[in-house]
Amino acid sequence: MRRRRSALVVASLGVVALLVSASQATASQATASQASGEQGSSLAAAATPLTASNFRYTLSETSSSLIGALDSALPNVSMSTVADDGNRTPSCGSAPSVTHRTAYYCWNDGDQDTSAWYPQGITTSSDAFAAGTYEGKRINLVSWYDHAEDGIDKGVRISVSNLSASASAPPYRHLLLVEPSGTTATPSFKPIDIHAGGIMWYGNLLYVADTGGGFRVFDLDHLWQVSTGSASKIGRQSDGSYHAFDYKYVLPQTARFTDSTAGGYAQLQHSSVSLDRSSSPDSVVVSEYRSKDDLAAGAQVRTIRVPIDYTNRYLKPAADGVIKATEAYRTDLESVQGSTAINGEFFFSQSDGDDFSNPNSDGDLHTFVAPSGAIVRHGDALTVGAEDLSYDPTRDYLWSLGEYPGHRWVYAADASSF
């Protein structure tokens, strides 16, 4: 996961005081074992429970009048319309080496090899609705962040892949995430400048991890078509037209959940997000990315669970009105890129370098059964540059993807086999 420096400098001050040094020593030993490169499965230390209610969120919403003004100014389209309007066809040169692989597909040559954009997060229509489809279609969404090689930071784009059209080579199209701006008289929008390391689709809402700030939320009930033809224009232009760097569709931010902590806990780094439909109520799982150097400097790696309300698709407040995590653990796993949970078992994807000629650089999968099970390492189970995780319970598919140019498969493994 290539990180902007601003994402890496999320405060780690004070984290050492959270647990006693003996626990840190145990976690460090586990990390060393997990990074050893051995294949197969191995046991490490158990995850350490934390005080979940110390992780909290505050909701803020985009002005409804500004959203309404843009609704009036722009053609509204449905997600199924975008899925049917795919303008790119994927092609795989080879199959990914993935333990218990059940499905895979790729991108077209341009997206497979570009260094201008890097794929990060994945979610599916099985997250959106338990039936597994959205507006009658099976769809996968993948987030990419712009590497700004042309000097223009376009922010975040989302690939909409239509698996109902083809499971092995789904046609797809990118849309751009935007943040509404301007006034109701002259409404506009601007790009979303975040890493988008994880995404989660729930009903009509798309949650996007904002590394140092919680979540950005985007509403598929406000999906707009804009003018094309210019790769440098964004938002409302002087002639009244709207552009989005030559993308045909834009999806606006309508809310955000800003995170905070209590009890002396360091702020959580939002590196990934996924949905757990096996919990009651449905919940969101969030994990942190920390490098080997971060851990050596005293940083911790934590994962939390936050309940979500199926009636309004927002994070669910506790009885006192405060949105709090209900489960939290310290794992101190190095380079965690994605996480999810299934029936009380947590899954973590871990990147392991970019030496493409070395099989030990393939991504690892780690599992543990909450609250006290040992962390199990499934060595080299994923591809090199493994990123986010998303679980499709309708087919028992554990989805992930690779980020590095030339190694960008999107793939699923049989979750019950781990």
Q: Are 399 and 122 in contact (CB under 8 A)?
A: yes
C-alpha dist (Å) from residue 208 to 158, 251, 269: 10, 12, 13
Q: Where are the domains of the chain?
A: 5-417
Q: What pLDDT score was predicted for residue 44? A: 65
Cα dihedral across residues 379, 380, 385, 387: positive or negative: negative
Q: How many residues does the chain have?
A: 418
Q: What pLDDT score was predicted for residue 15? A: 35
Beta bridge partners of 142: 122, 159
Distance CA(256)–CA(212), nearest Å, equals 13
Largest CA distance in the chain: 65
Q: Are 382 and 362 in contact (CB under 8 A)?
A: yes
Q: What is the pLDDT of residues 140-169, one digit of tens each?
A: 999 999 998 888 999 999 999 999 999 999
Q: Are 352 and 34 in contact (CB under 8 A)?
A: no
Q: What pLDDT score was predicted for residue 9? A: 34
Does the predicted TM-score (pTM) go above 0.85?
yes
- Close Cβ partners of 410 (under 8 Å, ≥ 6 residues apart): 104, 105, 106, 107, 122, 140, 142, 161, 399, 400, 401
C-alpha dist (Å) from residue 20 to 11, 26, 176, 299: 20, 10, 45, 13
Q: Show the 3-state SS of 296-341.
A: HCCCCCEEEEEEECCCCCCECCCCCCCEECCEEEECCCCCEEEEEE
Q: Are 257 and 59 in contact (CB under 8 A)?
A: yes
Q: Are 205 and 257 in contact (CB under 8 A)?
A: no
Q: What pLDDT score was predicted for residue 39? A: 52
Q: Is 74 left (phi over 0), alpha (psi -120 to 50) or beta?
A: beta
Q: What pLDDT score was predicted for residue 1? A: 56
- Close Cβ partners of 229 (under 8 Å, ≥ 6 residues apart): 243, 246
Cα dihedral across residues 275, 276, 280, 283: positive or negative: negative
Query: Across the beta sheet with 48-49, what order do the strands follow?
Result: 48-49, 327-330, 302-307, 283-287, 272-276
Q: What is the pLDDT of residues 115-137, one digit of tens each?
A: 999 999 999 999 999 999 999 99
Give how far the C-alpha of residue 53 lies from the chain's centroid of Cα atoms, to the nearest Å: 23
Distance CA(207)–CA(199), nearest Å, equals 5
Low-confidence ranges of the chain (pLDDT < 70): 1-40, 44
Distance CA(53)–CA(21), nearest Å, equals 23
Q: Are 260 and 266 in contact (CB under 8 A)?
A: no
